[in-house]
Amino acid sequence: MADAVQAAARVTPTPTPRRFYVHDDLTAEVRDAHGAGSPASALARDLLALVAREPERVTVLTVEEQIAGLLARGPHAPFALALGIGSAGERVARQVHARSGWFPLIQRVDVAREEDGRGGYALVSRSGVPLAAQLAGLDPVPSLAVVDDTVFSGLTMRAVLDALPAAVRARAHAFCLRCVAESLRSIAARCPVTPGFAAPGRILEEVSFINASGLVRRGSIRREGQPPMAFFERPEWIHAWFPRHADEVLAVCRRLNRLLEPAPPGAGPPPA
């Protein structure tokens, strides 16, 4: 897969972040779907143990500790409407509402970041409905929450906030489970923002985040006009993130992927 993004990555190698945060959205999901004693569940536990092998640099985050951090920065009166950015943002909104009652009405905004094949990213609607059309009719909403799981560069959250009418944005409050602290400045310039966990440092070189599910499930890497990928299909990223034991991480990722996303009959092997 010698696409333009991979070529760019060879010119500018992926940095090894000084602090690397892995959100564990994998072990409970695999346990619930396959059973606590299943081979898939055992491999998921092995994978999280592997990625946490450098505790001085790598931190595994749980959803519970992030929600607790978010709730500690409350309370809030229930919002008239909560916009969950993508399936991840919608899931976070429902998880937080179950603990707080803040988001009684939740609506998904179908937008995702996609590699443009030129070394950059574009925001796309996976349903084909333009973002502006998805946000139409919000003028009467007296209070609005905009919820995402992660604010890394802030690209997606800024795009959603900027697509809101100014009067609606003035009544909005942004929420996320985790973020890079410096990226919140551009969000806070648009509306109040509350994170569950905020990491200091510059993105990529000093601090980075991933979801553990993205290591093994295809979808975290979206590409224009091409099938989605999992992180293990970019081995150069795994070597940058886990330089001491990247080959072990890759081996477990490939084994777990074959259990979670078995290839259809007649399909060739997944990319190495």
- The rounded mean pLDDT for the chain is 91
Residue 186: inside a domain: yes
Q: Containing domain of residue 122, as a range?
A: 73-199
Domain containing 82 — which CATH number? 3.40.50.2020
Higher pLDDT, residue 10 or 269: 269
Residue 40: inside a domain: no
Number of domains in the chain: 1
Mean pLDDT to the nearest integer, 196-207: 94
Is the pTM value of this prediction over 0.85? yes
Residue 138: inside a domain: yes
81-85 β-sheet, strand order: 106-109, 81-85, 144-151, 172-180, 193-199
Q: How far apart are the first and last CA of the chain?
A: 10
Per the structure block, which two tokens stand in for 99?
């603990």
Residue 143: inside a domain: yes
Question: Does residue 28 have a pLDDT over 90?
Answer: yes
Residue 180: inside a domain: yes
User: Tens of pLDDT along 228-250?
Assistant: 999 999 999 999 999 999 999 99
Residue 89: inside a domain: yes
- The string of DSSP letters for 160-191 reads HHHHS-HHHHTTEEEEEEEEEGGGHHHHHTTS
